[in-house]
Amino acid sequence: MPAPIRIPRHLNRFAALYPAGSPDIPRALYALTPEPCPLPPAWPLPSKKSDYTCFAESRDGVVWYGAKTGLTRWDPNAPCKEDRVQYFSAERHLCDNEVKAILIDNAQCTMHNYEQLWVLTATGASKITMKWLTGEEKAELLLEESLRVVDRRGMMSQRGLSVPRRPETALPYNESDNDGCFGCGFAMAELMHYGVLRRDLGALNPKAIKAREIATRACEAMLLLLYIPCRGDGFAARTYMTPHEPVPAGGLYFRKLGDGTAQVVTTHNTLRDGTAGAIIPCPDSVPPRLAKLYEDEGFTDKGLVYKGDTSSDELTLHFAHLYYLCLILKDEDPELAQLAVEAGRALLGHILDHGCELFDAFGRPTTWAKYSERYFEFGSLGWVDACLNAAELLMYLRVMMQIDPENARWGGAYGELLDKGYQNHGPKHAQRLDQMCAFLNNEPSEEIMFGDHMLATTAFWPLILLEPDEALKETYRAGYASWRGSIGREFNPGYDLPFALTCPEEPIDWERLARWFRRSPASRLASRVNVTARHDMPLRARLSGGKETGWLLPPDEYAISKYDRNPNAFTDEESGGARTVESCYVYTFAYWFGRWYGLAEDE
């Protein structure tokens, strides 16, 4: 087992923004006059030399520099050279990027606050505080933010805001068609969180009790997505909404009518394919324990709307979640574990009964949950997808063999897939991607589906963990390693720690992973940054249009996003936009996975 990452207590950025004229802004800030800037011996700087207009000396040799394009912090004594020059920009840290004056206010600092300063810009001022946090303290802050702002009946994907940067303006709704995927990432993080506290502090410790409550609710929310269609055939929903939440204009949605049927909601898609208004049976009932998630808000089954066309994004994370739920909670909560096993039986049984595909209500497979030889042999897309989808289905079966060991169906189906050579698809991923790109006259780096990185990670790590046959393990490791050309460029512990756990002989840049933990922001508020105006950023033009940064910026300097976005994107905001708070799972999954498996620890 590799030596664990040591996460030291480290500085984190906190910013409060004030509009011009606010009485909270110190009068002394307005009285400052710019002085010539003796710039640090560090090149390139985030702003042009000619753009720097003011500076202020802080403590321990730290100097802050204001420019027309943002704020630069210079710390010549930072232990890591990558932390010596740091960039702060609007709207995450500043009201705008035209810095007029800087006022150091270290007299207000405590043992936890290392520095505090006021930064005057053209449209207001910001109070920036650099605070010491451990890795666990940061995880706790992020979890509290998600519980306060993002939580939607236990689902943890994101939450829209009516006013940018104002979490108190969170909308009362926020559907995400990947609620199952991202929610399972959150649930697994909190299961491991509880598992670590139970191991280190004991199950009766108040912190462990609270962690178990949070993990249990997250697990219930994810299981509800597996039960809520009530079709009797194991079909799983992507997400669901209560009657007060608006239904998006596109996609496939079903409204439950409360009489054992559901009706297809009218959307652009269902009007186009002629299914709008169709009635389908849904004779089953949601287990009472799970129904409480919406009943506690005053809703019944009648009027609930769930999304169909479920993809492997959701299913792959669901099966990994079922494994960790049973692993960590089975002895303490056998009822919940049994619900997990029964949901897994129904869902995987559905896939096997339909020729290794997930079928929706109209006798045809969903768009992105196909694991059949028929699909693998149908055109270039299935041929490339086979490398991942085959591993996903093998992982589903391995999980069910683990949590439902007395059911011979899973082992029999697993053996049949091995006889068909499913295990041999995985190692061909990089080769097939190259061949597809040659056919398309494109580069492999431009065909990366960043959401597939999470799927590949989640398919292979449980599959390798649970496979007892060493020869098969090596085949699966080769399949996992075939993704490193694209996954490895992210230096994301959420991907690299599962890889290190299951492929311990493969190289990992541990210092880059430690840097990710240090520099991940302590909030998932998706305010804009100023990547596109930086002076120190070499760029790579993409053949398909757009640009990428020439190196990977630290997470506290690029746009907030989920695991499914390009961290090298040359952009100031991601798809969630500046009116979003994203889930904490991006950090908490990596952190608690590392702690659970002994791959990361706080100093």
Quick one: pLDDT at residue 445? 80
Considering only 107-111, 347-351, 522-526, 570-574, which range has the smallest mean pLDDT?
Answer: 107-111
In terms of DSSP bridges, do strands 600-602 and 5-7 run parallel, antiparallel, or are they unpaired?
Answer: parallel
Residue at 21 is within a domain = yes
Q: Do 380 and 436 touch, CB atoms closer than 8 A?
A: yes
Q: Where is mean pLDDT largest: 57-61, 78-82, 432-436, 455-459?
A: 455-459
> DSSP string of 111-125?
SSEEEEEEEEETTEE
> DSSP string of 185-222?
HHHHHHHHHHHHHHHHH-TTSHHHHHHHHHHHHHHHHH
Please report the sign of the dihedral spanned by the C-alpha atoms of residue 245, residue 246, residue 248, residue 254. Answer: positive
Please report the sign of the dihedral spanned by the C-alpha atoms of residue 185, residue 187, residue 188, residue 190. Answer: positive
Task: Give the model's confidence band at 176: pLDDT under 50 very low, under 70 low, under 90 confident, else very high.
Answer: confident
Quick one: pLDDT at residue 486? 92
pLDDT of residue 439 exceeding 90? no
Write the CB contacts of 373 (distance below 8 Å, at least 6 apart in sequence): 356, 420
pLDDT of residue 555 exceeding 70? yes
In the structure encoding, which two tokens stand for residue 563, read together?
A: 């695991």
Considering only 205-214, 302-311, 454-463, 563-572, which range has the smallest mean pLDDT?
Answer: 563-572
202: left (phi over 0), alpha (psi -120 to 50) or beta: left
More confident residue, 181 or 575: 181
pTM above 0.85, yes or no: yes
pLDDT of residue 37 exceeding 90? no
Q: Tally Cβ neighbours within 10 Å of residue 544.
A: 10
pLDDT of residue 546 exceeding 90? no
Place of tokens 């591993």: 391
Quick one: pLDDT at residue 1? 58
d(CA 548, CA 566): 9
d(CA 283, CA 319): 24
Q: How far is CA 11 from CA 8, 58, 130, in A?
A: 10, 15, 6
The CA dihedral of 113, 117, 118, 119, to the nearest 10 degrees, is -120
Residue at 116 is within a domain = yes
Q: Give mean pLDDT, residues 217-226.
A: 98
Q: In what order do the strands lie in the sheet with 63-67?
A: 52-57, 63-67, 70-74, 85-88
Q: Do 524 and 583 touch, CB atoms closer than 8 A?
A: yes
Residue at 237 is within a domain = no
Residue at 59 is within a domain = yes
Q: Give mean pLDDT, residues 7-30.
A: 95
Distance of CA 494 to the CA centre of its chain: 9
In the structure encoding, which two tokens stand for residue 150, read together?
A: 């993002």
Q: Give mean pLDDT, residues 4-8.
A: 92
Q: Residue 409, class by beta-carbon neighbours within 10 Å (0-12 exposed, 13-18 middle, 19+ buried)?
A: middle
Residue at 175 is within a domain = no
Residue at 107 is within a domain = yes
The CA dihedral of 581, 587, 588, 590, to the nearest 10 degrees, is 150
pLDDT of residue 56 exceeding 90? yes
Quick one: pLDDT at residue 109? 74
Q: Tally Cβ neighbours within 10 Å of residue 584.
A: 29
Quick one: pLDDT at residue 155? 97
pLDDT of residue 131 exceeding 80? yes
Quick one: pLDDT at residue 2? 62
Task: Give the model's confidence band at 223: pLDDT under 50 very low, under 70 low, under 90 confident, else very high.
Answer: very high
Residue at 207 is within a domain = no
Task: Give the model's confidence band at 458: pLDDT under 50 very low, under 70 low, under 90 confident, else very high.
Answer: very high
CA angle 590, 5, 42 (to 5 degrees): 100
Looking at this protein, which amino acid is placed at residue 359? F
In terms of DSSP bridges, do strands 158-160 and 240-241 run parallel, antiparallel, or are they unpaired?
Answer: unpaired
Residue at 186 is within a domain = no
Place of tokens 């289905």: 393
Domain that holds residue 68: 10-133
Quick one: pLDDT at residue 366? 96
Q: Give mean pLDDT, residues 177-192.
A: 96
Number of structural domains found in the chain: 1
Considering only 65-79, 332-346, 510-524, 570-584, which range has the smallest mean pLDDT?
Answer: 570-584
Question: What percentage of the chain carries pLDDT values higher than 90?
Answer: 84
